[in-house]
């Protein structure tokens, strides 16, 4: 009889020393995020200044093992699998270890990396990026999420976002302030509102859409250029369409089309679902489709375009 297939998810937390890995894992445990799994194993590959509270781990039924990086081998993982029989594994990775190792290493049956998160201390990131760019870049390429903690609005957050997206187009990026609160989108815009034409990178559509929605008065009268798909339907007037994108906020089940009503005098030349590059002036007007005032686009130019590399964007 064939062996039953099952998965033991590995939650991989990576980052340099003092990037906040231990605190992040502790907070996640204390929030009960891993409580559904009966047996849990925490593998720590870096001995930092902050330590785990043994009682907290015991209360959440988590066994902890500290390993030197040279002991992170197939044989050792097999040994830990037999000893602890975990249903879920959390790995506090060593930032100087090859990030590809955990993906390429042969692991016990069922063990698979489920989520990979890389943490950065924003207060030291600029210096690290200048001197250790190749090392930090490797921690991002296969990550699902990057979190910058201890951020200030004066930092180059937009530039950092673009750097992360250049390495990994699908990565989710979050910025937290010194209190651990997520920073507003206004503090992390990857483009300048002072440009004559605000050009929106394909991967930044979701950010632009949300900020326009939250602060329409800031964008009123601004010229914007972005790529989107044409949405036409019978409810729109002859001069209205919506150039937008499909956006995933959490998972595949949450994919939805978002965009703003646009005015254009050559609608007949556009096909539904056609990719176009739109240059338009942003207005803030009452529209029946909104049932209130909302952002609109007065198109200056609409030209055919090729689909972006990542057709679905995330916030």
Identify the CATH number of the domain in which residue 44 sits. Answer: 3.40.50.300
Q: Which domain holds residue 276?
A: 198-314
Task: Tell me whether residue 120 is in a domain.
Answer: yes
The answer on 27 and 118 residing in a single domain is yes
Is the pLDDT at 315 greater than 60? The verdict is no
The answer on 246 and 108 residing in a single domain is no
Q: Average of pLDDT values for 193-218? A: 91
For 191-224, the DSSP string reads S-TTSSSEEPPGGGHHHHHHHHHH-HHHHTT-EE
Give the tens place of pLDDT for each residue, 154-182: 888 877 887 888 788 788 899 999 999 99
Sorted by sequence, the CB contacts under 8 Å of residue 222 that are 6+ apart come out as 193, 198, 281, 282
Task: Tell me whether residue 124 is in a domain.
Answer: yes
Task: Tell me whether residue 1 is in a domain.
Answer: no
| Among 262, 257, 282, 162, CA closest to 206 | 257
- 122-131 vs 133-141: helix axis angle to the nearest 10? 110
The answer on 28 and 127 residing in a single domain is yes
Residue where one domain finishes, among candidates 188, 218, 242 = 188
Is the pLDDT at 304 greater than 60? The verdict is yes
Supply the pLDDT for residue 1.
37
- Whole-Å CA distances, 298 to 82, 114, 221, 234: 64, 44, 10, 20
Positive/negative CA dihedral, 302, 308, 312, 315: negative
The answer on 264 and 285 residing in a single domain is yes
Scored b (16 or more CB within 10 A) or e, 224-255 reads bebbbbbbbeeeeeeebbbbbbebbeeeeeee
Supply the pLDDT for residue 214.
81
For the chain, where are the alpha helices, taking DSSP H only?
21-30, 54-59, 74-84, 100-104, 122-131, 133-141, 157-167, 205-214, 216-219
Threshold 0.85, pTM exceeds: no
The answer on 222 and 118 residing in a single domain is no
Supply the pLDDT for residue 3.
53
Q: Is 229 helix (H, G, I), strand (E, B) or coil?
A: strand
The answer on 147 and 21 residing in a single domain is yes
Residue where one domain finishes, among candidates 153, 188, 223 = 188
Q: Average of pLDDT values for 19-42? A: 96
* Rounded Cα distance, 92 and 86, in Å: 16
The answer on 173 and 232 residing in a single domain is no
Residue where one domain finishes, among candidates 164, 188, 212 = 188
Task: Tell me whether residue 307 is in a domain.
Answer: yes
Do the beta carbons of residue 212 and residue 187 sit within 8 Å?
no
The answer on 171 and 40 residing in a single domain is yes
DSSP 28: H
Domain count, the chain: 2
Give the tens place of pLDDT for each residue, 103-130: 999 999 999 999 999 999 999 999 999 9
* Rounded Cα distance, 144 and 285, in Å: 38
Percent of the chain with pLDDT over 70: 95
**Intra-chain end-to-end CA distance of the chain, in Å:** 45
Chain-centroid distance of CA 88 in Å reads 23
Give the tens place of pLDDT for each residue, 224-264: 999 999 999 877 767 899 999 998 754 566 688 999 999 99
The answer on 15 and 73 residing in a single domain is yes
Supply the pLDDT for residue 166.
75
Task: Tell me whether residue 145 is in a domain.
Answer: yes
Percent of the chain with pLDDT over 90: 73
Q: Average of pLDDT values for 279-301? A: 95
* Rounded Cα distance, 261 and 240, in Å: 7
The answer on 302 and 234 residing in a single domain is yes
**Weakest-pLDDT range from 55-69, 206-220, 228-242:** 228-242
Sorted by sequence, the CB contacts under 8 Å of residue 185 that are 6+ apart come out as 207, 210, 211, 214
Supply the pLDDT for residue 254.
66
CA angle 292, 295, 301 (to 5 degrees): 140
| Among 177, 179, 226, 174, CA closest to 204 | 226
């Amino acid at each position: 009889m064939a062996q039953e297939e099952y998965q033991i998810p590995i939650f991989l937390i990576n980052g340099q020393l003092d990037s906040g890995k231990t605190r992040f894992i502790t907070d996640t445990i204390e929030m009960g995020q891993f409580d559904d799994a009966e047996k849990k194993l925490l593998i720590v590959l870096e001995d930092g200044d902050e330590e785990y509270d043994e009682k907290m781990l015991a209360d959440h039924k988590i066994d902890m093992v500290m390993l030197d990086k040279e002991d992170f081998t197939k044989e050792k993982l097999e040994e830990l699998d037999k000893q602890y029989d975990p249903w879920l594994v959390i790995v506090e990775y060593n930032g100087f270890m090859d990030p590809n190792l955990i993906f390429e290493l042969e692991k016990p049956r069922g063990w698979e990396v489920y989520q990979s998160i890389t943490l950065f201390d924003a207060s030291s990131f600029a210096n690290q990026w200048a001197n250790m760019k190749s090392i930090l870049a490797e921690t991002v390429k296969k990550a699902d999420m990057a979190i910058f903690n201890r951020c200030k609005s004066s930092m180059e957050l937009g530039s950092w976002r673009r750097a992360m997206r250049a390495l990994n187009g699908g990565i989710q990026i979050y910025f937290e302030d010194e209190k651990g609160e997520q920073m507003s989108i206004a503090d992390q815009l990857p483009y300048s509102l002072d440009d004559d034409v605000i050009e929106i990178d394909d991967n930044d559509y979701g950010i632009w859409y949300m900020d326009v929605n939250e602060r329409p008065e800031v964008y009123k009268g601004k010229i914007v250029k972005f790529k989107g798909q044409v949405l036409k339907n019978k409810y729109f007037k002859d001069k209205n369409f919506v150039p937008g994108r499909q956006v995933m906020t959490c998972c595949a089940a949450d994919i939805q089309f978002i965009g703003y009503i646009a005015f254009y005098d050559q609608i007949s030349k556009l096909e539904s679902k056609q990719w176009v590059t739109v240059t338009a002036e942003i207005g803030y007007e009452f529209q029946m489709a909104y049932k209130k005032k909302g952002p609109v686009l007065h198109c200056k130019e609409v030209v055919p375009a090729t689909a972006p590399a990542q057709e679905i964007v995330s916030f």
